[in-house]
Amino acid sequence: MEFGPRALGSRSIIGDARSSIMQKKMNLKIKYRESFRPFAPTILAEEVDKWFELDRESPYMLLVAEVKKEKQKKMTNEENLLWGIDKLNIVRSDIPAVTHVDYSARIQTVHKDDKPLYHGLIYKFFEKTGCPVIVNTSFNVRGEPIVESPLDAYKCFMRTEMDLLAMGNFILYKIEQPKFHDDINWKEKYELD
């Protein structure tokens, strides 16, 4: 289990970094925060130099690097004239869900020797999509600590619009779960940041 504020694959909410709506969806329907807040990418260590201007591994999500120029999408003259949220919503790269407004990202690299299961998951995604990058955020909602137990994970899963929950060898699909009754009004219990 990780320590500290960063989800490094053991207690993470993950998504498709290629999606132009994933950042907004995960922020509004899972994290319950502003739609524009950035997410971090997790990438296969052996592919990082093809996607980011980074020449070393970053297993603890501590390094920031620019998305490679060939993966960036430059803004048109009309897009450059936009302001505020309209400008934030512009697709800036092949991985818009993790690309910040300045084309940077705070990167986690995953090596198969360090995290074989997480690496294997991302590798399967890479085989299916051609993209070795996924969205990775901490398994919690805004204001809550990262989940620590299966019960915490289930409650967080049921309180949000996540599609499925994977724990060990188990996969739970939201549509197959019984109606969830919460014992607290969790949206009011935790102070917003």
Element (H, E) at 171: strand 170-173
CA-closest candidate to residue 103, choices 58, 65, 60: 65
100: helix, strand or coil: coil
Same domain, residue pair 40 and 127: yes
Same domain, residue pair 134 and 150: no
Domain that holds residue 164: 142-193
Model pLDDT, residue 1: 72
Same domain, residue pair 134 and 188: no
- Any residues with CB less than 8 A from the CB of 113 and at least 6 apart, and which? none
Same domain, residue pair 107 and 72: yes
Same domain, residue pair 64 and 110: yes
Same domain, residue pair 88 and 177: no
Same domain, residue pair 40 and 112: yes
Model pLDDT, residue 60: 95
How remote is the C-alpha of 166 from its chain's centroid?
A: 15
- Any residues with CB less than 8 A from the CB of 36 and at least 6 apart, and which? 23, 24, 27, 85, 88, 89
Indicate which CATH number applies to the domain containing 3: 3.90.870.20
**Number of Cβ within a 10 Å radius of residue 13:** 22
Same domain, residue pair 129 and 146: no
Model pLDDT, residue 118: 97
For the ranges 14-18, 153-157, 182-186, the lowest mean pLDDT is seen at 182-186
Element (H, E) at 34: none
Q: Which of 118, 138, 158 is the last residue of a domain?
A: 138
The more confidently predicted of residues 187 and 3 is 3
What is the token pair recorded at 2?
A: 């990780």
pLDDT tens sequence across 109-164: 999 999 999 999 999 999 999 999 999 999 999 888 999 999 999 999 999 999 99
Same domain, residue pair 130 and 177: no
Same domain, residue pair 30 and 103: yes
**Is residue 51 within 8 Å of 131, Cβ to Cβ?**
no
What's the CA gap between 104 and 95, in Å, rounded?
11
pLDDT tens sequence across 40-99: 999 999 999 999 999 999 999 999 999 999 999 999 999 999 999 898 899 999 999 999
What's the CA gap between 147 and 6, in Å, rounded?
12
Q: Which of 115, 138, 161 is the last residue of a domain?
A: 138
φ and ψ of 64, to 5 deg: -110, 140
Model pLDDT, residue 181: 83
pLDDT tens sequence across 27-39: 999 999 999 898 9
Same domain, residue pair 23 and 53: yes
* Beta strand extents in 17-156 (DSSP E only): 40-44, 63-66, 104-110, 133-138
pLDDT interval class at 188 (50, 70, 90): low
Same domain, residue pair 107 and 155: no
What's the CA gap between 119 and 30, in Å, rounded?
24
Q: Which of 99, 115, 138 is the last residue of a domain?
A: 138
What is the pTM assigned to this prediction?
A: 0.91
How remote is the C-alpha of 172 from its chain's centroid?
A: 19
Question: Considering its fold, how many domains does the chain have in total?
Answer: 2
CA-closest candidate to residue 22, choices 10, 6, 38: 38
